[in-house]
Amino acid sequence: MDLHKKVRIVGAGLAGSEAAWQCARRGVAVELFEMRPARTTPAHQTQDFAELVCSNSLKSESEHTAPWLLKEEMRRSGSRLLEIARETAVPAGHALAVDRAEFSRKVTEAISAEPLITIRREEVTEIDPEQLTVIATGPLTSDALSQEIVRLSTSGGDLSPSTAPLPHSSLFFYDSISPIVEADSIDMSKVYLAARYDKGSADYINCPMSKDEYDRFYDALLAAQSVDQKDWENLNYFESCLPIEEIARRGRDTLRFGPMKPVGLKDPRTGRIPYAAVQLRQENLRADSYNLVGFQNHLKFGEQAHVLSLIPGLENARFLRYGQIHRNTYINSPSLLNKTLTMKAHPEVMFAGQICGVEGYVESIATGMMAGMNAAALATGGEPVPPPRATALGSLIHYITAAESRTFQPANITFDLLPALETRVRDRKERHRQQCELALREFDEWHHRHVWQTGAAPTGARSGSKR
């Protein structure tokens, strides 16, 4: 008699396919639900699993970069999708890019051939919180399931003030992302620290502009090209998070009365209020980076690089992320999830992929892998142990579960999600090399001690087994 619980996985995208395979590889049976082709999303075009809806790049393969570190940890854990990505790679310099059709075809083939995975081509609209389930329905989760997730997020378990989700912030539909800049690339001689009207501590970096500087910036912003808008995106921007170029189109001074308003921001060096000011706010868990407050925009990345370099102090800034606005369904993970990706209020329900607040193909596969491992552990009576904080996987999960819940936004893997080294290393390359080495040491130890011990021994594990 099979005493293992069966795992339901909803969504056979990047995260769901990887999660299913990780369960099966550990001898755990899976029911994998995929709504395509019966019902499709506005971005998917095929009925294959793990379709890459936009670019075909799985980011850098250069040693000692953050995307490399995450992939290296996934490789050491036996990520099946990463393995297929390597099998279907196309030349792309230092990046891992794939033949997208071949990639999805091979993932579909591998998952369909797995005897422990039963595929159900149907839309899931209800979740039974008593049943072990991984929700991996991505940024374009169907409407009916989105409503079900809101219901789940606001019900059950211990809804004391410390764990209760905020009803309106439990599910987001648009991602409006401000650019993020590396702190040590800001020219501090041109900016000053101050809080508006000196209220609270002077945590903001203010970039002051003269009239001439403002006019130059304004003209460049209006001339910059936006990202092509797909019909289905039809964004109908919310008034409270308009892109800066949209605000600028309403008049030359609108930005000076909006996100660039200088009132209450006296420059201590001149004793005067500047003509306009851009405020930079420190990211919560990103110790060495600042976001440009209210600077969400829909411009092409190259255009942003030019326009933002006209802001005093940012002439040579390095951007960790550019502004973006796109449809994105994601939960408020810091208030809803444990570090094992299980819901605080419903311990049998897990989330993985973009819907849990990570951003990007590799990050989605990575959290799918973790959810699959954890679900397999739970299904076989084991207890999942999250990866250490010093690892890329651990840092990503730490970010989505420990960030400030009111301002939570999805994140890619970057070095500023990883903890700082105990000893400060000035040279960036050397610092990153040391962070990677520490991460991999801790990763190997965790993987050796916990990963297989938490559940059943691996099955034949095909070519994915690295042990």
Ligand X SMILES: Cc1cc2nc3c(=O)[nH]c(=O)nc-3n(C[C@H](O)[C@H](O)[C@H](O)COP(=O)(O)OP(=O)(O)OC[C@H]3O[C@@H](n4cnc5c(N)ncnc54)[C@H](O)[C@@H]3O)c2cc1C
Residues that bind ligand X in the complex, under the rule CB under 6 A = 10-16, 33-36, 41, 43-44, 53-55, 123-124, 136-142, 145, 326, 353-355, 360-361, 364
Classify burial at 416, counting beta carbons within 10 Å of its beta carbon; exposed 0-12, middle 13-18, buried 19 or more: buried
The rounded distance, in Å, linking the Cα atoms of 412 and 416 is 10
CA-based nearest residue to 413, from 11, 87, 92, 65: 65
The rounded distance, in Å, linking the Cα atoms of 360 and 328 is 12
Q: Which is nearer to ligand X, 17 or 380 (CB)?
A: 17
Q: Which is nearer to ligand X, 11 or 384 (CB)?
A: 11
Taking only Cα atoms into account, the Rg of the chain, rounded to an integer number of angstroms, comes to 23
Residue partners of 278: CB distance under 8 A and separation at least 6: 206, 207, 209, 259, 260, 292, 293, 295, 311, 314
Residue partners of 346: CB distance under 8 A and separation at least 6: 129, 152, 156, 157
Q: Which is nearer to ligand X, 71 or 450 (CB)?
A: 71
Q: How far is the CB of 296 from ligand X (least distance, A)?
A: 16
Cross-strand partners of 267? 272
Alpha helices in 61-99 (DSSP H): 66-77, 80-87
What are the backbone dihedrals phi and psi of residue 173, each rounded to the nearest 5 degrees, phi first? -110, -20
Q: Which is nearer to ligand X, 100 or 266 (CB)?
A: 100
Alpha helices in 26-178 (DSSP H): 66-77, 80-87, 100-112, 143-153
Q: Which is nearer to ligand X, 6 or 389 (CB)?
A: 6
Q: Which is nearer to ligand X, 133 or 391 (CB)?
A: 133
Contact 352, 141 (CB under 8 A): no
Nearest-CB residue for ligand X: 13
Q: How far is the CB of 297 from ligand X (least distance, A)?
A: 17
Q: Which is nearer to ligand X, 15 or 320 (CB)?
A: 15
Output the six-digit token pair for 4.
Answer: 């293992």
Q: How far is the CB of 395 from ligand X (least distance, A)?
A: 18
Q: Which is nearer to ligand X, 1 or 54 (CB)?
A: 54
Output the six-digit token pair for 40.
Answer: 């499709």
Contact 14, 352 (CB under 8 A): no
Q: How far is the CB of 192 from ligand X (least distance, A)?
A: 36
Output the six-digit token pair for 139.
Answer: 């940024």
CA-based nearest residue to 12, from 52, 50, 44: 50
Q: Which is nearer to ligand X, 39 or 428 (CB)?
A: 39
Q: How far is the CB of 181 from ligand X (least distance, A)?
A: 21
CA-based nearest residue to 69, from 355, 453, 449, 414: 414
Contact 346, 157 (CB under 8 A): yes
CA-based nearest residue to 127, from 2, 5, 11: 11
Q: How far is the CB of 31 from ligand X (least distance, A)?
A: 11
Contact 343, 150 (CB under 8 A): no
Provide long-range contacts, Cβ within 8 A and 24+ apart, for 313-317: 313/186, 313/187, 313/188, 313/190, 313/191, 313/205, 313/207, 314/181, 314/186, 314/187, 314/207, 314/278, 315/187, 316/185, 316/187, 317/181, 317/182, 317/185, 317/186
Q: Which is nearer to ligand X, 64 or 100 (CB)?
A: 100
Q: How far is the CB of 251 from ligand X (least distance, A)?
A: 31
Q: Which is nearer to ligand X, 279 or 354 (CB)?
A: 354
Q: Which is nearer to ligand X, 248 or 371 (CB)?
A: 371
